Chain A
Amino acid sequence: MKKLTVFTYFFVLILFSFSLLVCADEGYYYDEVGLINDRQIIHLTNTLRDFEKKRDAKLMIVVVNTTGNKTPVGFAFDHLFNTVGNTGNGIILLLAINEGKVVIDTRGSASKALTDQRADILFDLILYEHFVSGDYYNGFLSFIDMCDGYFAISHNDHAYSSIDSEISDTGSSISSMDNETDDNSFLHLCLISLGIGIAAAIITVLILRGQLKSVKKAKNASVYVNHGSFLLTEKRDVFLYSTITKIPRPQSNSSKSRKY
Chain B
Amino acid sequence: MNAIKEYKCPCCGGAISFDVESQNLKCPYCDTEFDIEALEDYADEIQSNESSPKWEAEVRSNSREDEADNLCTYSCKSCGGEIVTDSTTATTSCPFCGNPVILTGKLSSNLRPDLVIPFKFDKESAKTALKNHFKGKKLLPRSFKSEARLDEIKGVYVPFWLFSTDTTSKTRYRGTRISHWSDSEYIYTKTSYFSLIRGGNLNFTHIPVDGSKKMADNLMESLEPYNIDDAVDFEAAYLAGYFADRYDVSSEESILRANERIRQSIIDEFYKTTFGYVGTHCTSCNFDLLKSSVKYALLPVWLLTASYKDKNYIFAMNGQTGKFVGDLPMDIGALWRWFFAVFGIVSAIMFLILFGANH
Contacts and interface: CB of A to CB of B under 8 A. Distances in A.
A150 to B, nearest CB: 16
A163 interface: no
Contact of B197 (A229, A235, A246): A235
Contacts of A217: 217-218, 221-222
Given A192-B350, A218-B261, A220-B265, A211 B137 contact: yes
B202 A230 contact: yes
Contact of B347 (A197, A219, A221, A226): A197
Give the interface size bracket for B toward A: 35 or more
B231 to A, nearest CB: 14
Most B CB within 10 A of own CB, among A215, A219, A222: A215
A212 B328 contact: yes
B197 A234 contact: yes
B314 to A, nearest CB: 9
B339 interface: yes
B333 interface: no
Interface stretch (B59-67, B71-79, B87-95, B178-186): B178-186
A244 B138 contact: no
A218 B221 contact: yes
B261 A226 contact: no
A208 B338 contact: yes
B35 interface: no
A82 to B, nearest CB: 25
Contacts of B138: 208, 211
A223 interface: yes
A232 B198 contact: yes
Q: Would you call the interface of chain B mostly helix, strand, loop, or mixed?
A: mixed
Interface in B182-238: 182, 184-207, 216-219, 221-222, 224-225
A196 B347 contact: yes
Contacts of A246: 186-189
Contact of A233 (B186, B194, B200, B342): B200
A114 B324 CA distance: 65
Nearest to A192: B354
A214 B338 CA distance: 21
A216 interface: yes
B329 A212 contact: yes
A239 B175 CA distance: 10
B170 A196 contact: no
B329 to A, nearest CB: 7
A224 B202 CA distance: 11
Contacts of A214: 222, 324-327
Contacts, number: 193
A60 B330 CA distance: 69
A239 B347 contact: no
A185 interface: yes
A41 B184 CA distance: 39
Given A219-B264, A233-B199, A249-B184, A194 B347 contact: yes
A198 interface: yes
Given A192-B354, A233-B199, A224 B327 contact: no
B194 A239 contact: yes
B3 interface: no
B199 A209 contact: no
B204 A231 contact: no
Interface string A221-260: 1111110011111111111111111111100000000000
Contact of B193 (A211, A235, A236, A240): A240
Interface in B312-359: 324-330, 335, 338-340, 342-348, 350-351, 354-355, 358
Interface of A: 185, 189-190, 192-194, 196-198, 200-202, 204-205, 208-209, 211-226, 229-249
23 contacts: A193-B347, A194-B347, A197-B342, A197-B347, A201-B340, A202-B339, A212-B137, A214-B324, A214-B325, A215-B219, A216-B218, A217-B222, A220-B261, A235-B199, A237-B175, A237-B194, A238-B195, A240-B195, A243-B190, A243-B191, A248-B185, A249-B182, A249-B187
Given A225-B203, A236-B197, A238-B197, 5 more contacts: A196-B347, A212-B140, A215-B325, A225-B204, A232-B200
Question: Which 8 residue pairs of A and B lie closest in terms of their CB atoms, listed nearest first?
Answer: A197-B347, A234-B199, A229-B203, A193-B351, A201-B343, A220-B264, A221-B261, A242-B192
